[in-house]
Chain A
Amino acid sequence: MARRSPSIGSPATDGVRAWAFSNLLVKRRSDGKDANRVDRGLGPRAGRRAHARCLRVIAVPDQRQRLPEDHLTFWENYGTQLSLLNAAKNLAAAYHKLHPNITVKLVNQPANNYFSLVQAAAISRTGPDLAVMWTGLYLPPYAGILANLRPYIKQSTFDNIEGLQWGADDFNSSKAILAMPVDAQFYMGFYNKKDFAKAGIKQVPADWSQLFSACAALRKVGITPIVYGNGSAAYSGEFNPWYDFSYMMIGALPPSQWQGLYSGSIAWTSSEVKSQVSHWHDLFVKGCVNSDALTDTNNVGQFVSGKAAMVTGDGSWDVGQYSQQMGTNVGAFVPPYSTSPQHGVVYFPGDAISVLQESPYKQQAADFLAFMDSPAGAVQIAKAGLIPDISHYVSTNALNQQMLDFVQKQNFTVYPMLDNVTQPNIVNVGYQVLPAALVGQTSVTSALASLATKHNELPAGQRSTYAAYFTG
C-alpha cells in the first residue's frame, strides 16, 4: 500500500486522492473496458471497496498516514535470482532519484506459494501496490485482482514493448493490459568454451546426434557434459524441466502446433512428444548428465569452474553471473533437442509486474511501470545483466547480444516459453514428474501419462483455445 507523510497530504487530501482513484476505477468499469473482471467476481466489489476505503481515510487517520514518506509497496518472488532482484533494486533507486517523494519499497516473498499470497493479500486488502506476476497462462487465474494498466499508461510506452500481448487479456495487446514485462528472456543453454576446446569440439552441437557425440568427447577428457541441479532456482525441489521441455517441443513441433498440446489435439503421450523425451532420458543413460541431477545444489558452481561443460536448463537471467565469473569463456547455445539442426529459440517476456486492483495509487504505481519500460528504465535493467524488453534493443553485453542475434540476425523461429502457454495444472505435474523421467526414476511413458491425465481432468473451457482459457 502507498504510504503518505503528514507533510505531503493531510487525511482530508489523502481522502480526496483516494476518492479520485476510486472514481477512476468505477468509471473505467462503467465504460465496460473491464467487463471480464466483473465476470470473475472481484471486480464489482473493488469499486465499492475503494469508495469505502477513501471514506475511511477521510474519517480515520490510519497507520499508513503515520509513516514518514510516500512509498509504493512492491512484492517480488525473486529469491536467489539475483539479476532480477538487482534490476528491481536499480529501478526503485533510479525512480526515487527522479521522484524523491516516492519510494518503491521492495518486499521479498517466498517463491513457492507466492501467487497464493498475493491473491490472499489482495482479497483481504492488505496487498501491495505492485506485484511480480508471470505472463502467459500464469496470469488469467489472477486477472480478477489486477488492474488494467491501459488507462494509466500512454500507448506510446506500450508500443515499444516486445511481446506485450503475453501480459494482456486474451493474449491480445489491444485489450486490457494486466502486466508490464520486466525483461526479454531467453530459455538458453550455456557452454564452457575451454571445455569444448579441451575435448576437441569445434562446432557447438545443433541436433541430438551432435550432442551425443559432444558428450562422448567430453566424457573422454573427464568433463561432465551437462550438469543439472536446483542451484539457481528460487523454489525448492528439483531442477525446472520446462526449460528443456520447451526445446524438446521446438524440435518436435512448429509454433502453430503448440496450441495442439494445449487443446489436446496433440496428446502429451503422442509419439512425437514421447520420442523427444526418450532422447532426453538417453542423455542420462549415456552418462551425458550428472548422476545426481535431482539433488545437485551446486550445478552453477560446477559449470562456472569448468567441471561441467554445459548447462541447458537455464536462461538469460543467469547471464549476469556467468559474464562476471567466466568472462569470454562462456557461450550461449540453443539446446539442440532436434533430429535436424535446431532453428527455434524461446524468446519471451516471462517476468512482469502488475498493479493490484485494490491499490488506491494505481496511477503512481503505473507511472513506475512506465518508467521501467522507458529508455531510462532500460539502462537500470541492463545494468543488472538483463535484456530490457524494448523493441530492437541492442545489448552491450556480448552474451546477451549473442542471444538476441539468434532472433535479430540468424532469424531463428521465436517460440514462447512452453510452461507459459500450458495449463498451470499440467505445468505443476510436469515439475513433479519430468525430472524423475530424465534420470529414469519414473518411465517416460508414465511421466507423460501423468500430464495427459491431468489434461483430461481440466474443464472443457481450459482445453480448447488460449482465448477460451481467459473467459472459461
Chain B
Amino acid sequence: MSVLRVRAVPGGRSPGPALSASAGRTTAGWLLSLPALIAVGVLLIIPIGQAFYYSMTNWNGITSTWVGPSAYLQLFEDPTFQRVLINNGLLLLAMPVVIAIPLGIAFLLHEQIWGWKFFRSAVFLPTAISWVVIGLVAVRFYALHGILNGLLSDVGLGFIKTNMLGSTHQALAALAITLVWSQLGTNTIIFITGMAALDPTLAEAARVDGASTPRIYWRIILPQMTRFIQFAFIITVLTAFTAIFSLIFVMTGGGPDYGSTTLEFYVYQQAFSQSAFGTGALLGVLLFVLVAAISVVQVRVLRAKT
C-alpha cells in the first residue's frame, strides 16, 4: 500500500509526508486494535493454549504432572471413550430429521395453510422452554408409568410397554427425539425466514408453467434454501454436541451404563465429578476438533453442490 501511494504522489514531491502519514495510520490502526487483540488473546487464545497444554497432563485442579501426547493415545484406547464417541456419531444420525421436519413445517407455513399464524407461534414455543424443563417433562413422558405408555395403551397398543430411559440402547434415541422436538422451533423459524427472502417470481413462473406444488418445492425452493439448511445444520450439530448437557443430566445422567453419555457430558463427568481436569481438557480439545471438522466438511459438501 505505501509503495503505491509513493508512486502516486504528483509533481515529484518528496514522499516523506505521505509515508509518515501512512505509517501513522498503520500505527494508529494497531493501537486501536490493541485492546481487542489483548482481549482476544487473554480471553480466548491463552485459555485455548492452556487447555491444549493441560490436555497432556494429569491435572487434578491443583497440581499437574506432564504426561505428553501419549495421553491422547491412551484415551483412544479407552473403551468408555470409544463408546462415548459412538454415541456422538449416533446423535449425528438424528440431524437429517432435525432438518427435514422443520423444513416441511416451514414450507406448509410458507404456503399459508389454514391457521398458519397460530401454528407459526405454536411451533416456536419449545424454543422458549429451558432444557431442564424439557428434560423433566421428557422423563415423565418416557417413564414406565408415564405419558408415552399411557398413550400407547389408550390406542390399544398397551402390549408395547417401553422404558426407553431405562434401556442402554434406547436412552440415546429418547434423547435424540427430545432434541428433535426442542429444535423444531428454531429451525422452522430459520427456514420460514429463508423462504420469505426467496424471489417469488421463480416459483410463480413454474406454477404458471404447470409445475405441481411438491415439484416447485423440490426443484425451485429447496435448492435456494441451501445456505439456510447449512446454517441450521451447523447450529443443530453445535447444539447436539455442546449444549444438551442439562438435558442429559436431567433425563439420564449419561446412563444406563454409558448408553447416553456424549462427549460433552463426559467432559463434565471427568472434570467435575472425578476432578480429572487434565482428561476433561483433553476431551474438550477433542470436542472442539470434532465440531470444527464436521462443520468444515458440511460447508465444503454443500459448497461443492451449489
Interface residues of A (CB under 8 A from B): 40-42, 112-113, 115-116, 119-120, 123, 141, 144-145, 235-238, 291-297, 424-425, 428-429, 432-433, 435-436, 439, 441-442, 447, 450, 453
- Nearest B-chain residue to A294, judged by Cβ: B166
CB distance from B167 to the nearest CB of A (A): 6
Q: Given A41-B63, A294-B165, are A113 and B273 also a contact pair (CB < 8 Å)?
A: yes
CB-defined A-B contacts under 8 Å, sample of 9: A112-B272, A112-B273, A237-B253, A238-B253, A238-B256, A293-B166, A424-B274, A425-B274, A429-B80
CB distance from B92 to the nearest CB of A (A): 23
Contact B62 A238 (CB under 8 A): no
CA distance A432 to B271 in the complex (A): 16
CA distance A41 to B63 in the complex (A): 7
Interface centre among B139, B163, B276 (most CB of A within 10 A): B163
Q: Given A291-B144, A295-B143, A295-B144, are A435 and B60 also a contact pair (CB < 8 Å)?
A: no
CA distance A453 to B80 in the complex (A): 10
Contact B259 A115 (CB under 8 A): no
CA distance A341 to B186 in the complex (A): 61
Partner of B143, one of A235, A237, A292, A442: A292
Contacts of B258 in A (CB 8 A): 432-433
Q: Given A113-B272, A292-B163, are A436 and B255 also a contact pair (CB < 8 Å)?
A: yes
CB distance from A351 to the nearest CB of B (A): 18
Q: Given A141-B275, A441-B168, A453-B79, are A435 and B256 also a contact pair (CB < 8 Å)?
A: yes
Interface size class of B (residues with CB under 8 A): 35 or more
Name the interface residues of B229-257: CB closer than 8 Å to any CB of A.
249-250, 252-257
Contact A116 B275 (CB under 8 A): yes
CB distance from A138 to the nearest CB of B (A): 11
Interface residues of B (CB under 8 A from A): 60-63, 79-80, 139, 142-145, 163, 165-168, 249-250, 252-259, 261, 268-269, 271-276
Contact A436 B80 (CB under 8 A): no
- Nearest B-chain residue to A437, judged by Cβ: B257
CA distance A432 to B142 in the complex (A): 20
Contacts of B272 in A (CB 8 A): 112-113, 116
- Given A40-B63, A238-B255, A428-B273; 17 other pairs, CB 8 A cutoff: A112-B249, A115-B275, A116-B271, A119-B61, A141-B60, A141-B275, A236-B249, A237-B253, A292-B166, A295-B144, A296-B144, A425-B276, A428-B274, A432-B257, A439-B256, A441-B168, A442-B257
- Nearest B-chain residue to A115, judged by Cβ: B275
CA distance A424 to B268 in the complex (A): 16
Interface of B (DSSP majority class) = loop
Partner of A292, one of B62, B145, B254, B261: B145
Contacts of A41 in B (CB 8 A): 62-63
Partner of B61, one of A116, A297, A442: A116
CA distance A119 to B274 in the complex (A): 12
CA distance A372 to B259 in the complex (A): 43
Contact B63 A237 (CB under 8 A): no
Q: Given A428-B269, A428-B273, A436-B168, are A119 and B62 also a contact pair (CB < 8 Å)?
A: yes
- Nearest A-chain residue to B144, judged by Cβ: A292
Contacts of A293 in B (CB 8 A): 166
CB distance from A161 to the nearest CB of B (A): 27
Contact A435 B275 (CB under 8 A): no
CB distance from B12 to the nearest CB of A (A): 65
Contacts of B167 in A (CB 8 A): 441
Contacts of B253 in A (CB 8 A): 235-238
Q: How many A-B residue pairs have CB under 8 A?
A: 95
Contacts of B144 in A (CB 8 A): 291-292, 295-296
Contacts of B63 in A (CB 8 A): 40-41
Contacts of B142 in A (CB 8 A): 295
- Nearest A-chain residue to B167, judged by Cβ: A441
CA distance A145 to B250 in the complex (A): 31
Contacts of A428 in B (CB 8 A): 269, 273-274
- Nearest A-chain residue to B271, judged by Cβ: A116
Contact B255 A432 (CB under 8 A): yes
CB distance from B132 to the nearest CB of A (A): 11
Partner of B259, one of A295, A425, A441, A450: A441
Leading 7 A-B pairs by shortest Cβ distance: A237-B253, A292-B144, A436-B256, A113-B272, A294-B166, A436-B257, A441-B168
CA distance A119 to B139 in the complex (A): 32
CA distance A291 to B167 in the complex (A): 11
- Nearest B-chain residue to A427, judged by Cβ: B274
Contacts of B256 in A (CB 8 A): 238, 294, 435-436, 439, 441-442
CA distance A141 to B273 in the complex (A): 12
Contacts of B145 in A (CB 8 A): 292
- Nearest B-chain residue to A233, judged by Cβ: B253
Contacts of A439 in B (CB 8 A): 166, 256
- Nearest B-chain residue to A230, judged by Cβ: B253
CB distance from B288 to the nearest CB of A (A): 21
CA distance A415 to B148 in the complex (A): 44
Contacts of A432 in B (CB 8 A): 254-255, 257-258, 261
Contact B250 A236 (CB under 8 A): yes
CB distance from B70 to the nearest CB of A (A): 13
Contacts of A237 in B (CB 8 A): 252-255
Q: Given A116-B61, A441-B168, A442-B168, are A295 and B139 also a contact pair (CB < 8 Å)?
A: yes
CA distance A236 to B143 in the complex (A): 15
- Nearest B-chain residue to A433, judged by Cβ: B257
Contact A441 B274 (CB under 8 A): no
CB distance from A412 to the nearest CB of B (A): 33
Contact A120 B61 (CB under 8 A): yes
Contact B61 A294 (CB under 8 A): no
- Nearest A-chain residue to B58, judged by Cβ: A459
Contacts of A115 in B (CB 8 A): 275
Contacts of A119 in B (CB 8 A): 61-62, 275
Contacts of A42 in B (CB 8 A): 62
CA distance A297 to B261 in the complex (A): 20
CB distance from B19 to the nearest CB of A (A): 50
- Nearest A-chain residue to B277, judged by Cβ: A116
Contacts of B269 in A (CB 8 A): 428
Contacts of B268 in A (CB 8 A): 113
- Nearest A-chain residue to B251, judged by Cβ: A236
CB distance from A51 to the nearest CB of B (A): 21
CA distance A424 to B270 in the complex (A): 12
